[in-house]
């Protein structure tokens, strides 16, 4: 997916229009289709290729199988001045998260900070998209999710009770790229395993282990193995606690209740997520804060390096550069993906994508 | 410090009384001394030996040198319904955090959740103490801190611009021990390095590197080296972002501005921390939530294990067992520490500790 050989460039706007057309044909209202399409393409712009338009065929398959409710009535299952639980009514994850982040921004603007839990949602694309959604509002954003398929066991265990449960945090800046962290609690996200399998490459040691704890490096055997938590016990503990916060707190699925959305198109996933917004204006002068972050970013970037190290990277700078480049030059769509998307377009009767 | 050979057991209550007497003699008000002493001994009860009464001589040294303000007027530098910035006026960290956590609980009870930033604080003991402070209020607690000395560089760098910036998260349960995560963003906390040095032991590879990136295993050479971030880039990025949230957001020290409180007793540290409280009652039925967490805990603990693995550990269960045991049998104080504490007691003229 990240291999650009044979890729065509498609303008983000065209990609959004394409995705919106397809989603509308599968039953979403024109407005919902537009909102969801924009959120999907945000993942592509950010460089999270495995979480963007690449997923559209899977979403459509799930919608057609009845596993996503295209007429979801998203509602508040709980509501307080600085918290809420959004019940997604099994709607498309992007619509549910759009509602949750909008609500977080509104409540944080009114009170200083807000924590919004989600249940009854679905896969919502790259984590960074929802943390970064707070940036234009001069807010810090945080996002946690229960991953949509369990590929990890508790440390020392062999039962797949945990997902890659990611965290994303976005912090506004003035002149520097926003600081955006987006990480799985596993060494490698499962998408990387799938890409290795597609390419016929072996995985490095450390990504996965088999059920006896030995390194598993053949991605074609991934189903027999387990993802390894990042930092050992620490990654396991983070995945556990993020699962409680993003899932259990909201009465969403966590642990054995997680539905593998790659294998099962029908059962509602009851996906759980959480967003936090912190309004900078309630902490002091907003511009002064952003200048302080710029200063820290430059201090780190310009600090002395080890021999052989060409650059010190700042979380989010790669994403920012990718957004700039793809907003200007279009999103690279590999030929095999283009074929799949255009087959889908032909199927539902909407205009094809052209590079 | 964790070596119990030659340790005497001292009842938590006696330890609190002892610490309160000493702090009062160094100039804290009786009420402040009592609050701080209780918070200090919380670290000991939790098993965080390097963060509890062990630090008292250092706090006293700093107070005497004028590096901590015993008459601090802790005030709110910013205040909103679900957020605030607590300015600690360079007071003892435990007093500042007591204020911040109390405020977080009050605001979260009123609004659902609250994020409180701290500046002008100091070292405040183990991270878990402040996350767990929310538990009796049926709230989830989160705590972030800028560590009190920089021992890490940005990934690929050699300048000590980052500390171990820890995170702690505490989640209430019904019958199970509360789930409590408490982790540094480095592979090893610096306290572990100090303990290895004290004991004359070598460190395992992976804890520290030298300035050319080679493993550094001799803890006596720790000053020449750098702590390694947990999970490589991920640990670095977490330390970076937690520093922005716990430090920069509140105009507290982060990066090059961090004062090494082990080496400098005089300069105000302007330590930054942050706490988040989430009120369970605003998310649904509190008991139902706690039962769900118990269920997840048991599901993980009772799941099948790899060959040779004797138990699956749940974050916080070790801490809980330690609290139970030490609350009952007393806190083990190694003979060398007892001697140091009693020398301090003789110095300031308060009754000695007896095992």
pLDDT digits (tens, 9 = 90+) for A109-166: 999 999 999 999 999 999 999 999 999 999 999 999 999 999 999 999 999 999 999 9
The answer to whether B83 contacts A155, with C-beta atoms less than 8 Å apart, is no
Nearest to residue A157, comparing CAs of B342, B34, B305? B305
Alpha-carbon distance B293 to B313, whole Å?
15
Q: Do B67 and B105 share a domain, yes or no?
A: yes
CB atoms within 10 A of CB B260: 14
Work out the end-to-end distance of chain A between its first and last CA atoms, rounded to an integer number of angstroms: 16
Cα of A150 vs its chain's centroid, Å:
16
The pLDDT assigned to A98 comes to 98
Task: Tell whether the torsion through CA atoms of A168, A169, A174 and A176 is positive or negative.
Answer: negative
pLDDT tens digits along A54-107: 999 999 999 999 999 999 999 999 999 999 999 999 999 999 999 999 999 999
Residue B31 lies in a domain: yes
Q: Which residues contact B326 (CB under 8 A, 6 or more apart)?
A: B12, B44, B45, B47, B332
CA distances from A92 to A95, A231, A285 (A): 6, 33, 37
- CATH number of the CATH domain containing A256: 3.30.1370.60
The answer to whether B283 contacts A249, with C-beta atoms less than 8 Å apart, is yes
CA–CA min distance B128, chain A (Å) = 14
Residue B330 lies in a domain: yes
pLDDT tens digits along A281-314: 999 999 999 999 999 999 999 999 999 999 999 9
Q: What is the ipTM of this complex?
A: 0.97
Q: What is the DSSP letter of B338?
A: H
Task: State yes or no: pLDDT of A1 exceeds 80.
Answer: no
The answer to whether B213 contacts A306, with C-beta atoms less than 8 Å apart, is yes
Quote helix, strand, coil % in chain A, to nearest 5. 45, 20, 40
- Considering only CB atoms, which chain B residues are within 8 Å of A111? 80-83, 111
Read off the tokens for B7. 């340790």
Q: Do B18 and B130 share a domain, yes or no?
A: yes
The answer to whether B113 contacts A113, with C-beta atoms less than 8 Å apart, is yes
CA–CA min distance A308, chain B (Å) = 9
Q: Do B63 and B97 share a domain, yes or no?
A: yes
Q: Which of B143, B206, B240, B252 to mutate to test the interface with A (most CBs of A within 10 A)?
A: B240
Minimum-distance CB partner of A82 among B77, B114, B256: B114
The pLDDT assigned to A5 comes to 60
Q: What are the strands, taking DSSP E only, across chain B?
A: 7-10, 75-80, 83-87, 113-121, 139-145, 167-171, 179-183, 208-209, 215-216, 226-227, 271-279, 331-334
Q: Which of B201, B224, B247 is the last residue of a domain?
A: B224
Chain B residue closest in CA terms to A228: B231
Minimum-distance CB partner of A80 among B112, B304, B312: B112
CA–CA min distance B99, chain A (Å) = 17
Count of CB pairs separated by less than 8 Å, A with B: 247
The answer to whether B111 contacts A82, with C-beta atoms less than 8 Å apart, is yes
Rg (CA), chain B: 20
- Considering only CB atoms, which chain A residues are within 8 Å of B312? 154-157
Read off the tokens for B256. 């090059």
Q: Would you say B320 and B178 are in contact if contact means Cβ atoms under 8 Å apart?
A: yes
Read off the tokens for B341. 């504490």
Q: Would you say A191 and A126 are in contact if contact means Cβ atoms under 8 Å apart?
A: no
Tell me the mean pLDDT per 10 residues along chain B, length 355: 70 98 98 98 95 95 97 98 98 98 98 98 97 98 97 98 98 98 96 87 96 96 96 97 98 97 94 98 98 98 97 98 98 95 97 91
Q: What angle do CA B318, B324, B329 make, to 5 degrees?
A: 120
The pLDDT assigned to A194 comes to 85
The answer to whether A305 contacts B157, with C-beta atoms less than 8 Å apart, is yes
Q: What is the DSSP letter of A159?
A: S
Minimum-distance CB partner of A181 among B111, B241, B311: B241
CA distances from A200 to A63, A197, A218, B259, B303 (A): 31, 5, 9, 51, 33
Q: Do B57 and B98 share a domain, yes or no?
A: yes
- Considering only CB atoms, which chain B residues are within 8 Å of A309? 156-157
Read off the tokens for A354. 């052209």
Alpha-carbon distance B274 to B290, whole Å?
25
The answer to whether A278 contacts B249, with C-beta atoms less than 8 Å apart, is yes
Q: Do B139 and B177 share a domain, yes or no?
A: yes
Nearest to residue A328, comparing CAs of A7, A4, A47, A10? A10
Residue A201 lies in a domain: no
Residue B290 lies in a domain: no
Alpha-carbon distance A116 to A104, whole Å?
6
Q: Are strands B113-121 and B83-87 parallel, antiparallel or unpaired?
A: parallel
Q: Do B146 and B19 share a domain, yes or no?
A: yes
Work out the end-to-end distance of chain B between its first and last CA atoms, rounded to an integer number of angstroms: 16
Q: Which residues contact A253 (CB under 8 A, 6 or more apart)?
A: A146, A247, A259, A269, A270, A271, A272
For residue A272, the cross-strand partners are: none
Alpha-carbon distance A282 to A139, whole Å?
10
For residue B182, the cross-strand partners are: B168
- Considering only CB atoms, which chain B residues are within 8 Å of A245? 140, 169, 171
The answer to whether B312 contacts A282, with C-beta atoms less than 8 Å apart, is no
Alpha-carbon distance B101 to B116, whole Å?
8
The answer to whether B284 contacts A85, with C-beta atoms less than 8 Å apart, is yes
The answer to whether B212 contacts A241, with C-beta atoms less than 8 Å apart, is no
Q: Do B108 and B131 share a domain, yes or no?
A: yes
The answer to whether B315 contacts A85, with C-beta atoms less than 8 Å apart, is no
Minimum-distance CB partner of A237 among B212, B251, B315: B315
The pLDDT assigned to B132 comes to 98
Q: Which residues contact A122 (CB under 8 A, 6 or more apart)?
A: A62, A68, A88, A90, A91, A92, A93, A96, A148, A261, A269, A271
Residue A141 lies in a domain: yes
- Considering only CB atoms, which chain B residues are within 8 Å of A282? 78, 80, 83
Read off the tokens for B259. 């004062």
Task: State yes or no: pLDDT of A317 exceeds 60.
Answer: yes
Residue A336 lies in a domain: yes
- Considering only CB atoms, which chain A residues are within 8 Å of B107? 82
Residue A217 lies in a domain: no
- Considering only CB atoms, which chain B residues are within 8 Å of A307? 212-213
Alpha-carbon distance B291 to B70, whole Å?
44
Chain B residue closest in CA terms to A173: B244
Q: What is the DSSP letter of B355?
A: -
Q: Which residues contact A221 (CB under 8 A, 6 or more apart)?
A: A210
Q: Do B139 and B214 share a domain, yes or no?
A: no
The answer to whether B249 contacts A140, with C-beta atoms less than 8 Å apart, is yes
Q: Which of A117, A128, A156, A178 to mutate to test the interface with B (most CBs of B within 10 A)?
A: A156
Q: Residue B218's domain spans which residues? A: 188-224
The answer to whether B181 contacts A117, with C-beta atoms less than 8 Å apart, is no
The pLDDT assigned to B199 comes to 87
Q: Do B94 and B215 share a domain, yes or no?
A: no
The pLDDT assigned to A195 comes to 84
The answer to whether B157 contacts A300, with C-beta atoms less than 8 Å apart, is yes
What's the domain count of chain A? 1
Residue A220 lies in a domain: no
Minimum-distance CB partner of A315 among B110, B241, B251: B241
Nearest to residue B183, comparing CAs of B71, B323, B48? B48
Minimum-distance CB partner of B304 among A158, A231, A292: A158
pLDDT tens digits along A172-182: 999 999 999 99
Minimum-distance CB partner of A183 among B112, B234, B313: B234
Read off the tokens for A270. 């009851």
Read off the tokens for B162. 């980052």
Q: Do B181 and B253 share a domain, yes or no?
A: yes
The answer to whether A159 contacts B309, with C-beta atoms less than 8 Å apart, is no
Q: Do B239 and B280 share a domain, yes or no?
A: yes
Burial class (CB in 10 A: 0-12, 13-18, 19+), A203: buried
Minimum-distance CB partner of A155 among B113, B245, B313: B313
Q: Do B210 and B110 share a domain, yes or no?
A: no
Q: Would you say B92 and B122 are in contact if contact means Cβ atoms under 8 Å apart?
A: yes
The pLDDT assigned to B223 comes to 92
Q: What angle do CA A321, A324, A328 make, to 5 degrees?
A: 140
- CATH number of the CATH domain containing B193: 3.30.60.50
For residue A227, the cross-strand partners are: A208
For residue A114, the cross-strand partners are: A277
């Amino acid at each position: 997916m990240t291999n650009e050989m044979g890729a065509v460039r498609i303008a983000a706007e065209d990609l959004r229009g394409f995705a919106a057309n397809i989603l509308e044909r599968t039953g979403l209202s024109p407005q919902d289709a537009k909102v969801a399409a924009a959120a999907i393409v945000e993942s592509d712009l950010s460089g999270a290729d495995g979480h963007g338009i690449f997923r559209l065929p899977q979403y459509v398959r799930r919608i057609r199988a009845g596993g996503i409710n295209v007429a979801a009535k998203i509602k508040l299952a709980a509501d307080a001045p600085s918290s809420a639980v959004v019940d997604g009514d099994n709607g498309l994850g992007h619509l549910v998260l759009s509602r949750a982040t909008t609500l977080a921004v509104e409540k944080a603007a009114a009170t200083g900070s807000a924590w919004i839990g989600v249940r009854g949602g679905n896969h919502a694309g790259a984590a960074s998209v929802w943390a970064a959604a707070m940036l234009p509002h001069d807010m810090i954003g945080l996002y946690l999710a229960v991953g949509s398929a369990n590929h990890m066991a508790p440390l020392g265990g062999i039962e797949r009770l945990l997902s890659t449960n990611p965290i994303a945090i976005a912090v506004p800046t003035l002149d520097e790229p926003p600081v955006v962290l987006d990480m799985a609690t596993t060494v490698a996200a499962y998408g990387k395993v799938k890409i290795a399998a597609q390419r016929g490459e072996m995985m490095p040691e450390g990504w996965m282990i088999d059920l006896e704890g030995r390194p598993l490096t053949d991605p074609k055997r991934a189903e027999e193995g387990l993802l390894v938590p990042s930092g050992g016990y620490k990654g396991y503990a983070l995945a556990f606690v993020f699962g409680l916060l993003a899932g259990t707190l909201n009465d969403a699925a966590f642990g054995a209740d997680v539905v593998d959305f790659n294998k099962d198109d029908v059962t509602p996933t009851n996906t759980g997520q959480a967003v936090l917004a912190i309004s900078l204006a309630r902490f002091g002068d907003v511009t002064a804060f952003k200048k302080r972050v710029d200063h820290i970013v430059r201090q780190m970037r310009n600090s002395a390096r080890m021999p052989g190290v060409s650059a010190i990277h700042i979380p989010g700078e790669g994403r920012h550069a990718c957004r700039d480049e793809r907003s200007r030059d279009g999103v690279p769509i590999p030929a095999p993906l283009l074929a799949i998307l255009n087959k889908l377009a032909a199927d539902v009767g909407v205009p094809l994508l052209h590079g």
